[in-house]
């Protein structure tokens, strides 16, 4: 049986870019595929001599028809992962204005903004059923590649992969988070002039944040909670889990805690990696 990745999500969120990364990882890619042809393509790929055991299907239109086909592939024994690419409306508008392309849901000529919201509503059920959601709003092509490689580089792995992402609340909560933790109550290095230029990846900042009874109690509770619930997520058939940890700016406390959580999970044989959305700062 084949390993199949079905890429779906909002137009302009990076579906083709994600497919390109997977192609570099050895997947055979079929882009902009009409949903009705999904069973046919999979059947052709499975024929003797085709030599295709890793397949990427990039969904085109007719999103409402996608889920029954995905369910059918899974019931046939294929290992199927549905990847949903999301992005903020503001970012999608900027991308379409830059390319000057017409949005596929702009059917009445009423503009990009309305088309994006129309597509977002049409894809609500698909997003809810996705195995992995990636918010590309603030990812450049290299960061998107890192996220895709981290998720799909291990062929045939059945171990759930956990992504721990730090962020700043003043820049918005990540769209792809399954669990969100707010650490704005922890001691804030921002108010120390010597620590402000540093980040949570620096030892001095980590020492400042962790050298607090409040932090130590919080970490003990958080790590115990995650070690308890992660196996339950996996037992429910989840292959991917995104944990978002936020502080005010996303540079100090959230970064330090995210790195600590990844280390704790790894010490208990949970595959986890950290990413830091706002660590380098940006305009509010």
205 phi/psi in degrees, rounded to 5: -70, -45
Specify the pLDDT at position 262. Answer: 96
The alpha-carbon radius of gyration of the chain (Å, integer) is: 20
pTM exceeds cut of 0.85: no
**Alpha-carbon separation of residue 183 from 77, 201, 205, 214, 250 (angstroms):** 42, 16, 14, 11, 10
Q: How far apart are CA 135 and CA 91, in angstroms?
A: 11
Specify the pLDDT at position 56. Answer: 94
Q: Are 51 and 26 spatial neighbours (Cβ–Cβ below 8 Å)?
A: no
Q: Which two tokens stand for residue 113?
A: 């903004």
CATH number of 3-157, picked from 1.10.579.10, 3.50.50.60, 3.10.450.50, 3.40.50.300? 3.40.50.300
Q: What is the mean pLDDT of each run of 10 residues along the chain (284 residues)?
A: 90 93 92 86 86 88 80 89 94 89 83 91 91 91 88 67 94 91 97 96 97 97 95 84 96 97 94 91 50
Specify the pLDDT at position 64. Answer: 66
Q: How far apart are CA 151 and CA 83, in angstroms?
A: 10
Annotated domain spans of the chain: 3-157, 162-276
Specify the pLDDT at position 284. Answer: 33
Q: How far apart are CA 8 and CA 84, in angstroms?
A: 5
**Alpha-carbon separation of residue 31 from 20, 41, 213, 257 (angstroms):** 10, 11, 53, 39
């Amino acid at each position: 049986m084949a390993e199949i990745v079905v890429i779906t999500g909002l137009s302009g969120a990076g579906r083709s870019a994600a497919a390109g990364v997977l192609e570099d990882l050895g997947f055979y890619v079929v882009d902009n595929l009409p949903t009705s042809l999904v069973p046919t393509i999979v059947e052709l790929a499975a024929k003797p001599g085709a030599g295709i055991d890793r397949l990427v299907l990039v969904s085109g239109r007719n999103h409402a028809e996608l889920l029954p086909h995905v369910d059918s592939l899974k019931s046939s024994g294929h290992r199927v992962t549905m990847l949903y690419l999301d992005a903020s409306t503001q970012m999608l508008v900027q991308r379409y204005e830059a390319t000057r392309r017409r949005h596929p849901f702009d059917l009445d000529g009423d503009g990009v903004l309305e088309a994006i919201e129309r597509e977002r509503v049409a894809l609500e059920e698909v997003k809810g059923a996705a195995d992995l959601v990636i918010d590309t709003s603030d990812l450049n092509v290299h960061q998107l590649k890192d996220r895709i490689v981290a998720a799909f580089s291990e062929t045939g792995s059945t171990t759930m992969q956990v992504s721990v992402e730090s962020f700043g609340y003043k820049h918005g909560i990540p769209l792809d988070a399954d669990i969100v933790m707010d650490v704005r109550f922890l001691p804030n290095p921002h108010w120390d002039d010597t620590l402000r230029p540093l980040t949570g990846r620096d030892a001095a900042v980590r020492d400042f944040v962790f050298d607090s009874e409040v932090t130590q109690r919080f970490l003990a509770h958080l790590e115990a909670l995650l070690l308890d619930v992660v196996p339950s997520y996996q037992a429910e058939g989840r292959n991917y889990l995104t944990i978002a940890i936020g502080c005010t700016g996303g540079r100090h406390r959230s970064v330090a805690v995210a790195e600590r959580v990844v280390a704790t999970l790894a010490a208990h044989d949970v595959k986890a990696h950290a990413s830091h959305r706002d660590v380098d700062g940006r305009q509010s």
